Structure 1
Amino acid sequence: MDYMISEIIPFIKNHPILTLAWIALFVAIIYLTVKSKLTKVKTITNAQAIHMMNKQEAVIVDLRSADHFKKGHITEALNILPIDIKNGSIKLIEKYKTSPVILVDDNGMLANASGDILSKHGFEQVFALKDGISGWNGENLPLVKK
Protein backbone atom coordinates (compact mmCIF):
# COMPACT_ATOMS: atom_id res chain seq x y z
CA MET A 1 0.00 0.00 0.00
CA ASP A 2 2.78 2.43 0.91
CA TYR A 3 4.58 1.51 -2.31
CA MET A 4 1.49 2.37 -4.37
CA ILE A 5 1.09 5.76 -2.68
CA SER A 6 4.75 6.52 -3.18
CA GLU A 7 4.27 5.87 -6.91
CA ILE A 8 1.04 7.88 -7.24
CA ILE A 9 2.35 11.15 -5.80
CA PRO A 10 5.25 11.51 -8.28
CA PHE A 11 2.90 10.56 -11.12
CA ILE A 12 0.49 13.34 -10.11
CA LYS A 13 3.36 15.84 -9.89
CA ASN A 14 4.77 14.82 -13.28
CA HIS A 15 1.42 14.59 -15.12
CA PRO A 16 -0.96 17.25 -13.76
CA ILE A 17 -3.03 17.55 -16.96
CA LEU A 18 -3.53 13.81 -17.27
CA THR A 19 -4.43 13.62 -13.58
CA LEU A 20 -6.99 16.42 -13.95
CA ALA A 21 -8.46 14.70 -17.01
CA TRP A 22 -8.91 11.46 -15.04
CA ILE A 23 -10.51 13.32 -12.14
CA ALA A 24 -12.86 15.20 -14.49
CA LEU A 25 -13.84 11.96 -16.20
CA PHE A 26 -14.51 10.30 -12.85
CA VAL A 27 -16.66 13.22 -11.67
CA ALA A 28 -18.57 13.26 -14.98
CA ILE A 29 -19.34 9.54 -14.72
CA ILE A 30 -20.61 9.94 -11.16
CA TYR A 31 -22.69 12.99 -12.12
CA LEU A 32 -24.30 11.30 -15.14
CA THR A 33 -25.01 8.12 -13.17
CA VAL A 34 -26.69 10.02 -10.33
CA LYS A 35 -28.62 12.23 -12.76
CA SER A 36 -29.92 9.23 -14.72
CA LYS A 37 -31.14 7.61 -11.49
CA LEU A 38 -32.94 10.77 -10.34
CA THR A 39 -34.65 11.75 -13.59
CA LYS A 40 -38.29 10.88 -14.13
CA VAL A 41 -37.58 10.38 -17.84
CA LYS A 42 -36.80 6.78 -18.65
CA THR A 43 -34.92 5.71 -21.76
CA ILE A 44 -36.65 2.98 -23.77
CA THR A 45 -35.72 0.82 -26.75
CA ASN A 46 -37.47 0.73 -30.11
CA ALA A 47 -39.22 -2.52 -29.17
CA GLN A 48 -40.51 -0.99 -25.93
CA ALA A 49 -41.71 2.08 -27.83
CA ILE A 50 -43.58 -0.05 -30.37
CA HIS A 51 -45.19 -2.04 -27.57
CA MET A 52 -46.26 1.16 -25.81
CA MET A 53 -47.64 2.62 -29.04
CA ASN A 54 -49.67 -0.53 -29.75
CA LYS A 55 -50.82 -1.49 -26.25
CA GLN A 56 -50.82 1.74 -24.21
CA GLU A 57 -51.64 4.36 -26.84
CA ALA A 58 -48.33 6.13 -26.31
CA VAL A 59 -47.90 9.50 -28.00
CA ILE A 60 -44.76 10.12 -30.04
CA VAL A 61 -43.35 13.65 -29.81
CA ASP A 62 -40.67 14.34 -32.40
CA LEU A 63 -38.32 17.10 -31.23
CA ARG A 64 -36.54 17.60 -34.53
CA SER A 65 -36.89 20.56 -36.88
CA ALA A 66 -39.87 20.72 -39.23
CA ASP A 67 -37.59 19.96 -42.20
CA HIS A 68 -36.19 16.81 -40.61
CA PHE A 69 -39.69 15.82 -39.48
CA LYS A 70 -40.99 16.08 -43.07
CA LYS A 71 -38.13 13.93 -44.37
CA GLY A 72 -39.24 11.06 -42.16
CA HIS A 73 -40.92 10.55 -38.79
CA ILE A 74 -42.62 7.82 -36.80
CA THR A 75 -46.27 7.24 -37.67
CA GLU A 76 -48.67 9.66 -35.95
CA ALA A 77 -45.81 11.59 -34.33
CA LEU A 78 -46.40 15.18 -33.26
CA ASN A 79 -43.69 17.72 -34.03
CA ILE A 80 -42.69 20.12 -31.25
CA LEU A 81 -39.35 21.86 -30.91
CA PRO A 82 -37.41 21.68 -27.62
CA ILE A 83 -37.47 25.50 -27.44
CA ASP A 84 -41.28 25.42 -27.49
CA ILE A 85 -41.29 22.93 -24.62
CA LYS A 86 -38.81 25.09 -22.74
CA ASN A 87 -41.06 28.13 -23.27
CA GLY A 88 -44.15 26.20 -22.15
CA SER A 89 -45.79 26.19 -25.60
CA ILE A 90 -47.17 22.66 -25.25
CA LYS A 91 -50.87 23.09 -26.09
CA LEU A 92 -50.54 20.51 -28.87
CA ILE A 93 -49.76 17.77 -26.33
CA GLU A 94 -51.41 19.16 -23.18
CA LYS A 95 -54.23 16.60 -23.38
CA TYR A 96 -51.74 13.71 -23.15
CA LYS A 97 -50.53 14.40 -19.59
CA THR A 98 -51.71 11.00 -18.34
CA SER A 99 -50.65 9.05 -21.46
CA PRO A 100 -47.19 7.68 -22.09
CA VAL A 101 -45.25 10.31 -24.05
CA ILE A 102 -42.21 9.13 -26.00
CA LEU A 103 -39.76 11.85 -27.02
CA VAL A 104 -37.72 11.34 -30.18
CA ASP A 105 -34.76 13.43 -31.32
CA ASP A 106 -31.97 12.81 -33.83
CA ASN A 107 -29.81 10.48 -31.77
CA GLY A 108 -31.30 10.15 -28.28
CA MET A 109 -29.01 12.71 -26.66
CA LEU A 110 -31.30 15.71 -26.18
CA ALA A 111 -34.70 14.22 -25.38
CA ASN A 112 -34.08 13.92 -21.62
CA ALA A 113 -33.86 17.69 -21.10
CA SER A 114 -37.24 18.23 -22.77
CA GLY A 115 -38.61 15.27 -20.85
CA ASP A 116 -37.59 16.79 -17.52
CA ILE A 117 -39.46 19.97 -18.44
CA LEU A 118 -42.58 18.02 -19.44
CA SER A 119 -42.45 16.15 -16.13
CA LYS A 120 -42.39 19.48 -14.32
CA HIS A 121 -45.47 20.50 -16.35
CA GLY A 122 -47.35 17.50 -14.95
CA PHE A 123 -46.79 14.83 -17.58
CA GLU A 124 -46.89 11.56 -15.69
CA GLN A 125 -45.15 9.12 -18.04
CA VAL A 126 -42.32 10.57 -20.09
CA PHE A 127 -39.86 8.42 -22.02
CA ALA A 128 -36.91 9.10 -24.33
CA LEU A 129 -36.27 6.85 -27.32
CA LYS A 130 -32.78 5.39 -27.08
CA ASP A 131 -30.68 6.43 -30.09
CA GLY A 132 -33.55 8.59 -31.40
CA ILE A 133 -34.64 8.49 -35.01
CA SER A 134 -31.16 7.28 -36.02
CA GLY A 135 -31.65 4.09 -34.01
CA TRP A 136 -35.19 3.71 -35.36
CA ASN A 137 -33.90 4.10 -38.90
CA GLY A 138 -30.96 1.79 -38.17
CA GLU A 139 -33.40 -1.03 -37.39
CA ASN A 140 -35.27 -0.34 -40.66
CA LEU A 141 -38.46 0.57 -38.83
CA PRO A 142 -41.06 2.47 -40.87
CA LEU A 143 -41.03 6.22 -41.27
CA VAL A 144 -43.73 8.45 -42.71
CA LYS A 145 -42.62 11.15 -45.14
CA LYS A 146 -44.55 14.33 -45.91
Structure 2
Amino acid sequence: MNDVMQKLPAFASNHTALVAAFVVILIALIAGEVGRLLRKWKPLTPAGLTQLINRDTPLIIDLSASADYEKAHVPGAKNVAMSQFDPETQKDLSKAKDLPVVLVDKDGRGVGKAANRLIKAGFTKVFVLDGGTYAWQTAQLPVAKGKK
Protein backbone atom coordinates (compact mmCIF):
# COMPACT_ATOMS: atom_id res chain seq x y z
CA MET A 1 0.00 0.00 0.00
CA ASN A 2 2.81 2.37 0.89
CA ASP A 3 4.47 1.65 -2.48
CA VAL A 4 1.27 2.66 -4.33
CA MET A 5 1.05 5.93 -2.46
CA GLN A 6 4.65 6.76 -3.37
CA LYS A 7 4.05 6.07 -7.09
CA LEU A 8 0.71 7.92 -7.27
CA PRO A 9 2.14 11.46 -7.74
CA ALA A 10 4.39 10.26 -10.56
CA PHE A 11 1.47 8.46 -12.24
CA ALA A 12 -0.74 11.55 -11.94
CA SER A 13 1.91 13.83 -13.42
CA ASN A 14 2.58 11.43 -16.32
CA HIS A 15 -1.12 10.84 -17.10
CA THR A 16 -2.82 14.19 -16.49
CA ALA A 17 -5.53 13.64 -19.11
CA LEU A 18 -6.46 10.28 -17.57
CA VAL A 19 -6.57 11.72 -14.06
CA ALA A 20 -8.62 14.71 -15.25
CA ALA A 21 -11.12 12.39 -16.97
CA PHE A 22 -11.38 10.33 -13.78
CA VAL A 23 -12.05 13.44 -11.69
CA VAL A 24 -14.72 14.70 -14.12
CA ILE A 25 -16.48 11.33 -14.15
CA LEU A 26 -16.31 11.09 -10.36
CA ILE A 27 -17.81 14.56 -9.95
CA ALA A 28 -20.59 13.74 -12.44
CA LEU A 29 -21.44 10.54 -10.58
CA ILE A 30 -21.53 12.28 -7.22
CA ALA A 31 -23.65 15.15 -8.58
CA GLY A 32 -26.09 12.68 -10.17
CA GLU A 33 -26.49 10.72 -6.96
CA VAL A 34 -26.93 13.86 -4.84
CA GLY A 35 -29.56 15.11 -7.31
CA ARG A 36 -31.36 11.76 -7.17
CA LEU A 37 -31.39 11.80 -3.38
CA LEU A 38 -32.67 15.39 -3.16
CA ARG A 39 -35.51 15.19 -5.68
CA LYS A 40 -38.97 15.23 -4.18
CA TRP A 41 -40.70 12.85 -6.60
CA LYS A 42 -40.35 9.11 -6.41
CA PRO A 43 -39.62 6.64 -9.21
CA LEU A 44 -41.92 3.64 -9.62
CA THR A 45 -41.35 0.31 -11.28
CA PRO A 46 -44.24 -1.22 -13.22
CA ALA A 47 -44.88 -3.53 -10.24
CA GLY A 48 -44.84 -0.51 -7.90
CA LEU A 49 -47.39 1.28 -10.10
CA THR A 50 -49.59 -1.82 -10.08
CA GLN A 51 -49.49 -1.83 -6.26
CA LEU A 52 -50.30 1.89 -6.15
CA ILE A 53 -53.26 1.38 -8.49
CA ASN A 54 -54.53 -1.52 -6.35
CA ARG A 55 -54.33 0.29 -3.01
CA ASP A 56 -55.12 3.86 -4.05
CA THR A 57 -56.67 5.83 -6.90
CA PRO A 58 -53.79 7.63 -8.57
CA LEU A 59 -54.16 10.12 -11.38
CA ILE A 60 -52.03 8.75 -14.21
CA ILE A 61 -50.91 11.34 -16.73
CA ASP A 62 -49.27 10.17 -19.94
CA LEU A 63 -47.11 12.90 -21.47
CA SER A 64 -46.34 10.92 -24.63
CA ALA A 65 -47.09 12.25 -28.09
CA SER A 66 -50.69 11.46 -29.00
CA ALA A 67 -49.61 8.97 -31.69
CA ASP A 68 -47.56 7.02 -29.12
CA TYR A 69 -50.40 7.24 -26.59
CA GLU A 70 -52.86 5.80 -29.10
CA LYS A 71 -50.55 2.86 -29.85
CA ALA A 72 -50.27 1.82 -26.19
CA HIS A 73 -50.71 3.35 -22.77
CA VAL A 74 -51.25 2.36 -19.16
CA PRO A 75 -54.99 1.69 -18.69
CA GLY A 76 -56.70 4.70 -17.12
CA ALA A 77 -53.97 7.15 -18.10
CA LYS A 78 -54.99 10.54 -19.42
CA ASN A 79 -52.98 11.95 -22.31
CA VAL A 80 -51.68 15.50 -21.96
CA ALA A 81 -49.22 16.92 -24.44
CA MET A 82 -46.00 18.03 -22.81
CA SER A 83 -46.41 21.45 -24.44
CA GLN A 84 -49.81 21.85 -22.76
CA PHE A 85 -48.77 20.49 -19.36
CA ASP A 86 -49.24 23.30 -16.86
CA PRO A 87 -50.17 22.21 -13.32
CA GLU A 88 -51.09 25.74 -12.26
CA THR A 89 -53.81 26.28 -14.87
CA GLN A 90 -55.27 22.84 -15.59
CA LYS A 91 -58.50 22.33 -13.68
CA ASP A 92 -58.26 18.52 -13.55
CA LEU A 93 -54.87 18.74 -11.92
CA SER A 94 -55.77 21.38 -9.35
CA LYS A 95 -58.43 19.01 -7.94
CA ALA A 96 -55.86 16.23 -7.55
CA LYS A 97 -53.30 17.92 -5.31
CA ASP A 98 -53.87 15.39 -2.52
CA LEU A 99 -54.05 12.35 -4.82
CA PRO A 100 -51.02 10.42 -5.95
CA VAL A 101 -50.07 11.64 -9.43
CA VAL A 102 -48.08 9.33 -11.69
CA LEU A 103 -46.35 10.73 -14.77
CA VAL A 104 -45.68 8.42 -17.70
CA ASP A 105 -44.23 8.88 -21.16
CA LYS A 106 -42.99 6.58 -23.89
CA ASP A 107 -39.63 5.69 -22.32
CA GLY A 108 -39.50 7.47 -18.96
CA ARG A 109 -36.86 10.02 -19.93
CA GLY A 110 -38.86 13.21 -20.35
CA VAL A 111 -41.01 13.39 -17.25
CA GLY A 112 -38.56 14.64 -14.62
CA LYS A 113 -39.14 18.31 -15.46
CA ALA A 114 -42.91 17.81 -15.39
CA ALA A 115 -42.60 16.11 -11.99
CA ASN A 116 -40.62 19.08 -10.66
CA ARG A 117 -43.33 21.44 -11.96
CA LEU A 118 -45.95 19.45 -10.04
CA ILE A 119 -43.88 19.66 -6.86
CA LYS A 120 -43.53 23.45 -7.29
CA ALA A 121 -47.31 23.71 -7.80
CA GLY A 122 -47.91 22.11 -4.39
CA PHE A 123 -48.46 18.45 -5.23
CA THR A 124 -47.18 16.20 -2.47
CA LYS A 125 -47.45 12.69 -3.92
CA VAL A 126 -45.68 12.74 -7.27
CA PHE A 127 -44.38 9.58 -8.92
CA VAL A 128 -42.69 8.79 -12.24
CA LEU A 129 -42.91 5.44 -14.00
CA ASP A 130 -39.30 4.40 -14.64
CA GLY A 131 -38.95 3.26 -18.22
CA GLY A 132 -42.37 4.63 -19.16
CA THR A 133 -44.86 2.72 -21.26
CA TYR A 134 -42.02 0.67 -22.70
CA ALA A 135 -41.19 -0.75 -19.23
CA TRP A 136 -44.90 -1.35 -18.61
CA GLN A 137 -45.16 -3.40 -21.81
CA THR A 138 -41.87 -5.22 -21.13
CA ALA A 139 -43.30 -6.31 -17.77
CA GLN A 140 -46.16 -7.85 -19.81
CA LEU A 141 -48.80 -5.74 -18.10
CA PRO A 142 -52.00 -4.90 -19.96
CA VAL A 143 -52.06 -1.83 -22.19
CA ALA A 144 -54.94 0.19 -23.58
CA LYS A 145 -55.01 1.42 -27.15
CA GLY A 146 -56.76 4.31 -28.81
CA LYS A 147 -57.61 7.76 -27.51
CA LYS A 148 -59.20 6.62 -24.24
Q: Into which bin does the TM-score normalised by the smaller protein fall? A: 0.7 to 0.9
Correspondence for 1:40: 40
Name the CA shift for 1:10/1:83 in 2 (closer, same or farther; >3 Å).
farther
What is the identity, as a one-letter code, of the residue corresponding to 1:7? K
Q: CA RMSD in A?
A: 2.0
Correspondence for 1:105: 105
Q: Is the 8 A contact 2:87 2:93 kept in 1?
A: no
Give aligned-pair identity as a percent. Answer: 29
| Structure 1 segment 12-27 matched on structure 2, within 5 A | 12-27=12-27
Q: Is the 8 A contact 2:63 2:103 kept in 1?
A: yes
Q: Aligned partners of 1:18, 1:52: CA distance in 2, in Å?
A: 46
Name the CA shift for 1:7/1:85 in 2 (closer, same or farther; >3 Å).
farther
Deviates further, 26-35 or 8-17: 8-17
Correspondence for 1:144: 144
What is the identity, as a one-letter code, of the residue corresponding to 1:129? L
Could you tell me how far 1:103 is from its partner in structure 2? 0.9
Correspondence for 2:63: 63
Give structure 2 stretches of 5+ with no counterpart. none
Q: Aligned partners of 1:100, 1:132: CA distance in 2, in Å?
A: 17
User: Deviations 1:23-49 (Å, cap 9, x if unpaired)?
Assistant: 122111111111111111011111121
Q: Is the 8 A contact 1:58 1:99 kept in 2?
A: yes
Give structure 1 stretches of 5+ with no counterpart. none
What is the identity, as a one-letter code, of the residue corresponding to 1:113? K
**TM-score normalized with structure 2 length:** 0.86
Correspondence for 1:53: 53
